[in-house]
Amino acid sequence: MEIHEIAVTRLKSYENNPRNNDLAVEKVKYSIERLKTTERIVID
């Protein structure tokens, strides 16, 4: 396994993702800002 730190702005949406999470974005953003929590994400 390799670990790389990259800017979130470099991430791209997967065009074949069947989920529409647009309504959750603001809630997650608020939660991250409020809790000051950042966790690594796994990208395959």
* Inter-residue contact 31 to 25 (CB < 8 Å): no
- Torsion sign across C-alpha atoms 28, 33, 12, 44: negative
* Residue 6 CB neighbour total at 10 angstroms: 8
* pLDDT tens by residue, the chain, 44 residues: 788 888 888 888 788 877 777 888 888 888 878 887 777 776 66
